[in-house]
Amino acid sequence: MRKIQVPLCLAILLLGTSAFAPLVNAQELQVKELAEGLSNPWGMAFLPDGSIILTERSGNIRRYSANKGLSEPLANVPEVAAAGQGGLLDITLDPDFSKNQVIYFCYSRAGEGGSSSSVAKATLGVTELKDVSTIFVASPLVDNGFHFGCRLAFDSDKNLYVTLGDRYSFKEEAQNTDNHLGSIVRIHRDGSVPSDNPFVDGKAPEIFSYGHRNVQGLTVHPETGELWAMEHGPQGGDEVNQLAKGKNYGWPKITYGIDYNGDVISDKTEMEGMEQPVVYWDPSIAPSGMAFYHGDVFKDWQGDLLVGSLKFNHLRHIAMDGDKPGEETEYLRDRKERIRDVEVGPDGLIYLLTDAPNGKLLQVSPAKG
């Protein structure tokens, strides 16, 4: 029989992993289902008492605690445009939450001519939100239900970062810093613009970085304080990026993917003045939710990156040597559940949200023995 040699780059593509690291067989983990019956849960955050506040894309915010289980939806949540990929999306706590009880959430907000990714802040009560106000609305409004982005994170200076998508039909606008399409913005907690934003004198002064497609992962490294983001590529070309002020991340001028119909979007993967990803996947894994592990439970995972996959239904562990990616491992694929969000709890365990009409909150711990 004739032996066929497969080029290394093709072999990596056939494995369905990143272009930088091999994929290895998964080990067993323990999974505990904490809650079910959630309507496409999307984002979550841990409260100081160890309980969780989480969103359902249909428009609800709920609490979960080990003692009381899942609460009824909180009152006074603003109406959301829950169509397509839009709805009530990510949620986070104010850096001074223990003093002010303020939360922030990103949602698809209807307006004249379409909808937009918007950010609201509110005071969290026991059964309701109080003093709800919208502090940021991305422009322009677009009449479709795609690529809203909508992950949230605070940096050490208490600035809020909001990820935004290109809204699918307007990918070329990701290179235009006169609007918010395909960008990540940085704002103060009241929605005002930091004076050192890179495009502070422009038409979209909130922009921190641009050239993004649809960013659905955002996290701050627990040791370095650096901001990391993760975005959906088209057919191929999902990316993990280290963010830096004013940088251009290339979409759609450079990409490692092609269009869904097979057309070439760009024949370039690199251009001067555009950033390269730390990791990219081809074929796409449809990543959503990311966190660096920090805790005492998974002792060998300290500083490693955890990523949810919607397409291939798994939790992906990426071994990290500083900011250099290494071996990748898939977990939980046999459960056949789309992983929408990934968080590390204060107890050092890993918490996941599964994206389904009957979505779940899962707690992950190491295998026994």
Amino acid 308 reads G
Instruction: State residue 235's pLDDT score.
Output: 95
- DSSP-derived pairing of the beta strands 60-65 and 69-70: antiparallel
Instruction: State residue 52's pLDDT score.
Output: 98
Contact 361, 351 (CB under 8 A): yes
3-state helix, strand, coil in the chain (%, to 5): 5, 45, 50
* Catalytic center residues: 147
Contact 182, 208 (CB under 8 A): no
Instruction: State residue 368's pLDDT score.
Output: 80
Instruction: State residue 28's pLDDT score.
Output: 79
**Contacting residues for 297 by C-beta, under 8 A, at least 6 apart:** 347, 348, 349, 365, 366
pLDDT in tens, 149-179: 999 999 999 999 999 999 999 999 999 999 9
Spans of the chain, pLDDT less than 50: 1-17, 19-20, 25
Phi-psi region of 53 (alpha: psi -120 to 50; beta: other; left: phi over 0): beta
Cis omega (within 30 of 0) on the bond before 140? yes
pLDDT in tens, 13-70: 333 445 445 555 456 799 999 999 999 999 999 999 999 999 999 999 999 999 999 9
Domains in the chain, CATH or no CATH each: 8-366 (2.120.10.30)
Return the closest-CA partner of residue 61 out of 123, 19, 137, 111.
123
DSSP three-state, residue 12 = helix
Instruction: State residue 22's pLDDT score.
Output: 52
Contact 90, 42 (CB under 8 A): yes
Amino acid 23 reads L
Tokens 């979505």 -> residue: 359
Instruction: State residue 9's pLDDT score.
Output: 33
Amino acid 18 reads S
